[in-house]
Amino acid sequence: MSYVTIEQVTKGYENQVVLNNISLTLKKGEFATLLGQSGCGKSTLLRSIAGLEDVDVGRILIDGKDITYLSPRQREVGMVFQSYALFPNMNVFDNIAYGLKMKKVKNLKSKVKNMIDMVDLIGKEESYPHQLSGGQQQRVALARALVMEPKVLLLDEPLSALDAKIRKSLQKELKRIQKELDITTIFVTHDQEEAMTMSDRIFVMNKGQVVQSGSPSEIYTSPVNTFVAKFIGNYNVCNMEVFCKLVRTTELKGNEVAIRPEVLQLVSVGEDSLDLQGSWEIKGFIKDVSMAGNVLRYEVETEECAFHVDYLHHRGDMFEQGARVHILVPKKECIIL
């Protein structure tokens, strides 16, 4: 049964449609990510769920209750912002306790202490925001939202302002806490790797619509259109007529072909043992070589277009710029768009 339901939600500003008839559902305890480029509507959708934006059309339900027109305080959701939004004149304990104090909750101290322990801030109770690192401030913001025991946790790019090492560490911590509390979570990001790492399910958004949803593996290996292929996996996307000319075949039908860079193989021109079983071959030369972490990326120019080919970088032989090569394209890895 669906725990969160977004039903045909539409939202616009003046003459611009920001959310265009969006419908989606989440299960209880699911970690879902709204993924897309800036301006695609993901943050507007999150703010609409929180009650910070009104919708023009549609309904929003949580645990079977229609919350579309309720105030933010009545919705039983917790939200963490990119900017942390901590009270600078309050220490860690008081920042986390603020919402509980407003609701005059009993056992306030024990609830706050438990949350401080959960987000690993023991010993920082008396510290003020300016005395904390960015990662610690974000933990306070997360604890402040979770201590209210919301039905749904909303996260609006909460890690984007942090450096890479801290961000990766907090990704693991956030996922651990989410699973430990079994809290339904909606996470907004434009970072594809972050979405793949953290999500149970991803909703890819473009121009105010959800263009594809699925598990990280489904989204990565089976993009439904050119936008998803290029945005999610750095696919090589080639016009069908051009691709068929390169591989000398007439058996493919469609508009475009998408191929992941890591499934392609390079072989030096002149090698005797060129095994083409189950593959097509394209001739080209190495135009550029670059490194991205432990991945070695080759840009291979052919007579019609360029292809990116990714290898794990390790000691040993590598192709030099200008080298002439064959690209081996596994037929089963070609996705028709």
DSSP letter string, 52-100: SS--SEEEEEETTEE-TTS-GGGS-EEEE-TT----TTS-HHHHHHHHH
The one-character DSSP state at 190 is: S
**pLDDT tens-digit map of 236-285:** 999 999 999 999 998 889 999 999 999 999 998 876 666 678 899 999 99
> What is the CB-side half-sphere exposure of residue 320 using CA atoms within 13 A?
2
- Cα 96 to Cα 28, 84, 86, 103, 148: the distances in Å are 25, 12, 9, 13, 9
Same domain, 62 and 175: yes
pLDDT computed for residue 77 by the predictor: 96
Amino acid at 309: V
Rounded Cα distance, 101 and 86, in Å: 16
Q: Residue 118: how many CB atoms within 10 A of its CB?
A: 18
Question: Is 238 a member of any domain?
Answer: no
Backbone φ and ψ of 130, nearest 5°: -70, -10
Question: Is 51 a member of any domain?
Answer: yes
335 versus 276: the higher-pLDDT residue is 335
pLDDT computed for residue 318 by the predictor: 85
The CATH number for 117's domain is: 3.40.50.300
Predicted confidence band of residue 110 (pLDDT cuts 50, 70, 90): very high
In this model, does residue 211 exceed pLDDT 90?
A: yes
pLDDT computed for residue 251 by the predictor: 85
Same domain, 221 and 264: no
Rounded Cα distance, 34 and 50, in Å: 15
Q: Of 216, 231, 246, which one is at a domain's C-terminal end?
A: 231
Same domain, 109 and 53: yes
What would the DSSP string read from start to end of 135-181?
HHHHHHHHHHHHTT--SEEEEESTTTTS-HHHHHHHHHHHHHHHHHH
Same domain, 20 and 89: yes
pLDDT computed for residue 272 by the predictor: 60
Q: Residue 1: how many CB atoms within 10 A of its CB?
A: 8
Same domain, 279 and 206: no
44-48, 156-160, 228-232: least confidently modelled range: 156-160
pLDDT computed for residue 247 by the predictor: 93
Amino acid at 41: G
**pLDDT tens-digit map of 11-24:** 999 889 999 999 99
Closest CA to 235 of 264, 260, 265: 260
Question: Is 246 a member of any domain?
Answer: no
Instruction: Out of 19-33, 101-115, 313-327, give the one with best mean pLDDT.
Output: 19-33
Longest dimension (CA), the chain: 79
Q: Residue 278: how many CB atoms within 10 A of its CB?
A: 11
pLDDT computed for residue 274 by the predictor: 66
Same domain, 182 and 58: yes
The CATH number for 328's domain is: 2.40.50.140
pLDDT computed for residue 273 by the predictor: 62
Domain containing residue 278: 259-336
Same domain, 135 and 284: no
pLDDT computed for residue 257 by the predictor: 96
Report the domain count for the chain: 2
Question: Is 173 a member of any domain?
Answer: yes
Q: Outline where DSSP puts E strands in the chain.
A: 4-13, 16-26, 31-36, 57-62, 65-66, 77-80, 152-156, 184-189, 201-206, 209-214, 236-239, 256-259, 265-268, 279-292, 295-301, 306-312, 324-330, 335-336
Cβ–Cβ under 8 Å, residues 246 and 327: no
pLDDT computed for residue 26 by the predictor: 97
Question: Is 245 a member of any domain?
Answer: no
pLDDT computed for residue 270 by the predictor: 76
Question: Is 243 a member of any domain?
Answer: no
**pLDDT tens-digit map of 134-153:** 889 999 999 999 999 999 99
pLDDT computed for residue 52 by the predictor: 95
Rounded Cα distance, 133 and 158, in Å: 14
Percent of the chain scoring above 70 in pLDDT: 98
The one-character DSSP state at 254 is: S
Same domain, 9 and 132: yes
**pLDDT tens-digit map of 170-189:** 899 999 999 999 999 999 99
Backbone φ and ψ of 261, nearest 5°: -65, -25
**pLDDT tens-digit map of 51-88:** 999 999 999 999 999 999 999 999 999 999 888 889 99
Same domain, 325 and 197: no
